[in-house]
Amino acid sequence: MRTSVKVKICGLTRRCDVECAVAAGADYVGFVLVPSSKRFVPPERRRELIADLPASVRSVAVVADPTEQEVSEIRKLFDIIQFHGHEPPSVADGTHSWKALPASTAPERFFEYRVEHFVVDSDCGGSGRCCDWHRAALAAERYEILLAGGLSPENVADAIRQVKPWGVDVSGGVELSPGIKSREKIQHFIEEAKS
């Protein structure tokens, strides 16, 4: 029997949306620490957003090309760092580290990283476009991946059937506007992903 797919609700900016994701059964809650993002969470709001999470839910910091000092500081606050930039394997390394790569990435590129999980995304991460599910499925045969890119309550069950990922990662597909989530969409997405 297949283990239930893990679900990450990403791009959270409001405490009420974090609580909604937790109540709906999310396994991971993600926060974007990239200043250029429409979903950027400034340093002064981060502790409030992740306070008192249940032990079953882990916090994920999404970063792009951080310095070693920034990585050290982020690790003090968040459970996992998801590297979304051009980080070399020496930076995006080890347990509690995830590396986001486009589905079009050459298979040998994955070999370079020693991370807990890969997030397989579209070529334009954060664009809301679906990635190549066929290429993602090939990656899922070798690694425990989180499938990202263009997922929504309407297509996540089909994506899981085709790709067989370890987990799924959604942001825009459960939003009313960038950073503002829909309670109904979050609930529907998680129900579809875990059914």
Is 122 part of a structural domain of the chain? no
Per-residue pLDDT band at 1 (split at 50, 70, 90): very low
In-domain check, residue 109: no
What confidence tens digit (pLDDT) does each residue in 73-100 have? 999 999 999 999 999 999 999 899 999 9
Q: Is residue 125 part of a domain?
A: no
Q: What is the reported pLDDT for 125?
A: 52
pLDDT score for 3: 65
Q: How many domains does the chain have?
A: 1
User: 126 pLDDT exceeds 80?
Assistant: no
Q: What is the mean pLDDT of the chain?
A: 93
Task: For residue 174, tell me if it sits in a domain.
Answer: yes
115 domain residue, yes or no? no
Q: CATH number of the domain that 24 lies in?
A: 3.20.20.70
pLDDT value of position 107: 80
**Domain membership of residue 69 as a residue range:** 6-98+151-194
Q: What is the pLDDT of residues 127-144, one digit of tens each?
A: 556 778 999 999 999 999
Which listed residue (27, 121, 130, 169) is catalytic? 121
CB 125 within 8 A of CB 157: no
In a domain, 25, yes or no: yes
Query: What pLDDT digit, counting tens, does each position of 147-188 carry?
Result: 999 999 999 999 999 999 999 999 999 999 999 999 999 999
Is 16 one of the catalytic residues? Answer: no
pLDDT of residue 56 exceeding 80, the answer is yes
Res 176: pLDDT: 96
Look at residue 119 and tell me if it is in a domain: no
SS3 annotation, the chain: CCCCCEEEECCCCCHHHHHHHHHHCCCEEEEECCCCCCCECCHHHHHHHHCCCCCCCEEEEEECCCCHHHHHHHHHHCCEEEECCCCCCCCCCEEEEEEEEECCCCHHHHHCCCEEEEEEECCCCCCCCCCCHHHHHHHHHHCCEEECCCCCCCCHHHHHHHHCCCEEEECHHHEEECCEECHHHHHHHHHHHHC
Evaluate whether residue 107 is within a structural domain: no
